[in-house]
A and B are shown apart, each in its own frame.
Chain A
């Protein structure tokens, strides 16, 4: 416990309450017995729950709790009695105006002797984040998928031998904890106007002779299990045993190990999602069949490598993934593939099925319906036809599956022999397999009704002519 900056409880020896006015005083500093950190990743929020043993005397016992240079929310500090709860009462809490990161509790005791108290509070500055490392086998059929969590402590406080829990899920806060810790209970208007944030001072080196475990020097010799449990809409990861989370340090631990997870490869052209090029995707599922599925995957960065078969790795990609529930597909985007070439080629344009407007009578005529067109009639509607081809060349050693989505605006007829489906009302989607070395052409015709002839704003799928 560092009295300069750490969250500190001082039990004053004097029985006179309040004890804050005395110039000569005697205090004892009860150390933490246990501490538990519950760290949320959706907000800069950690719930700290610590227990300490305090010896009480009968009558009123003043306690001082201070948290100089930390990021504790003073409105969240709470004191409860774990033992002798029926003989101990918290009768008042005082926040002195001249000492912003401090409070006093007056506890009335009907007993004399030690009792265990639990102090809880919120702090900001402790965060955790997930990341994932995947290594694909040379055949590109399976991958290892290992998850890690990294805890970073910038709270201004060391937490030695803490039970660490991490919460996955989004919670609602109406005020940020960092702002509350900066503001204090009574906001300093000058500071608020200046918009400054209290930054904890870098702590001094720990004094020699501290417990080695508290410094994190004593290590277990086996990997710690991280227990994963669901709670309501949240998931809680609990690190086995205790961890020392030192201020300004970060620590990374393995969350899970996915071994030889099967995946499939697909090539997609979806401009709205992946930009205007065909991309290579590795698709797997967060489920038991994939040796995963023990936990939802929190937001994090995936780093994907491939065993290049030459006793080394090839770096494929790194990308952020959003929360993946158990059972959902994981999509890893490798970007364009130089061994798979995709071209979109317009082969032919033409127009027909004209409609003409006759001024004065305000009537439309169509020569294809046998109407006679006068010299002064003007074009009011027509059909645009375009013949397109998607050319795909596969230089890889394996067949590839491609899926293409094309969006068209207006009143469109999409004719093809590609067995397309509609992704939405204006986006045909079709798939094909391209064998190794094959140059495949996926052809279709798009008829777009224009002007007077335009009656809809959607794509209709039609079979290929003839």
Chain B
């Protein structure tokens, strides 16, 4: 048998239920793997081996007693470090949350625990989810398991790298402008951003609250659906949570997609997209034809505005969401009784926040300020309506839209960090889905110079079923389940 750490979630659940595998062995196996490769990957901020073993033993006892098990028994899951875990350090990879231990669990964490999943640690991220490379982390960058001189993508880089390097079976990330899909693409794994409101945000430390969702990261499509089953349900603690009848997303992994119409926006392959990335993505599209899908090109002219619209909205929201970090109730604070509260706040936030976070907060404050509100924030919101209309028109004709996830293959660590705008431009293809609240998935579709390339599928709101259908077909075709980086 393979090492337990290499097994898929599906296999682990089956084997645990079948008493072929013990949860404790899963945990020990994963932690051995972590010990083996973590120094080279740097995916984790905090590991919780003892708690994981404790939970594993509880599960094994349940199995022994013949008790009813949850839907993810023994599955080792890593959580992005912007998800609140009671009793476990939560940092958002920022100095300003130094020492912060949440007094409560995020709703998704409670749901995972209820289903007998095992939380093994908190993963590295761009500070407060602001970034596309995990380089803005206070704890240093995570490395791409496929090439340690390159970025794993961001901001959920740690979670993606952990799954890719088999340091976790599944992981949770968060996606505000592509932060689950981008690292999924760069690390050659599956990453999904659900419809806005499908997964509770209670306990997700906010960056831009009208744009973000928690999303699963996995090595295959089935595991992604399995995890989404657990995450997707109404939460009264989140006023933006949607009430939908619960469904089993795994049922959409079907081979019959002959009725599906795929739209390919020209702009997804236009200016700014690396030719080689385009080529690899098109190859996947052509091969899907043999399953009976039809595709057609279309134009989405508002795509030229999406990046600017996204950043203006995200920065504005962030400037307000991050105001609470003043050192009074939690986190970093200087110790100087001679200063008044304003001076202390000014210093705490100067020392506690990294440059990118400072930039976004200040720009966001500017965009909301008197005299600029109409020109920047309000204007962006109006353009957002135009973008929504554009996509709604497209979805009348097509079931899903498709293109590459990222415009370029994984870049070198340090290559773009000095030029913020160049980093923002890498989000070109992922931000539209956040602006319109639509679900989108990234699946591996090939390599460019041995560097992973991902393909993105976007569906209308609450149509994750379509995403899984297309992703499944592509996976059958492609065999990316069997990809693994050499570590």
Partners in one complex: no
A residues in contact (CB < 8 Å) with B: none
